[in-house]
Copies of this chain bind each other. A is one copy, B any other.
């Protein structure tokens, strides 16, 4: 419509940076659409998440990290649904000051994630953003027909479990910003790096997908904070939860930060970007799921129980006090 002369036309840009990332069905990105057909006896699972500079990532985050995050948040959704990633399409909104350097590092980050998860690029669209950069991904996975793990199907008495550790990314975000908080002063470099890494690089729990299908009654990924996402999993279904905060897995790095600034415990419980799995598991299946997680090298913790009623999940703190988190989740919005 209006706008500056392009540095590299959209077609040249696609041919140079994105066509090498494309998979079967995408015809080397020389068409306006791709074909995608699930394996016989399987459903496709579709999810979409967009990340925006200044909202979901920092404008000066490394471009490769941004690419890995854009894919990771989507693969995390697929993993929680029990699905194996099989392809994605990309919508890339570039700000007016984009550079080819940024783009080439971004494409390299995509390439790394594509290789790690065996999930090719099927197509995309590159546009002028008019504002900050945004990256929209629609990702596809496969599950055996009818076996997608749902979010709203927990039952009273199910145990509530999480993978990995909680809160690292939310604490890491404070450390990734240009101005360090006062409490960061005497944290050692490795601790800071570990927390920032968790903020920048989601680790989607794709390896756990088959075990979730076999054992979990309900699951979602934790993207907007444990407290809020747990409430989201249960609300409107006449179910609540009792959570023992001492059972919530915290990394050594998160514990070190919380020791310096106790308010960071709330950050850990309500902050976003964990990209761990939250699931409700029948008591009889807990050991099986736990064993499969261990076999996949994924930490797995039971943190509470699904209860009856419409109240918000109740968190029993270390001092015995019971808290709820009414505003409990990060809103990207």
Contacts and interface: CB of A to CB of B under 8 A. Distances in A.
Given A3-B55, A31-B151, A36-B44, 7 more contacts: A33-B78, A34-B45, A35-B46, A38-B38, A48-B138, A50-B127, A136-B136
Nearest to A132: B130
Contacts of A52: 93, 127-130
Interface residues of A, number: 72
Nearest to A177: B1
A74 to B, nearest CB: 9
Interface in A79-98: 80-81, 83, 89-91, 93-94
Interface string A209-247: 000000000001100000000001000000000000000
Contact of A32 (B27, B81, B332): B81
B35 A232 contact: no
Interface of A: 1-3, 6, 9-11, 13, 27, 30-38, 42-56, 77-78, 80-81, 83, 89-91, 93-94, 122-132, 134, 136, 138, 140-141, 143, 145, 148, 150-152, 173, 220-221, 232, 331-333
23 contacts: A1-B56, A6-B331, A10-B331, A10-B332, A27-B150, A27-B152, A30-B151, A33-B77, A34-B47, A35-B148, A36-B43, A36-B44, A46-B123, A48-B138, A49-B91, A50-B125, A52-B128, A54-B130, A56-B127, A91-B138, A126-B333, A129-B132, A129-B134
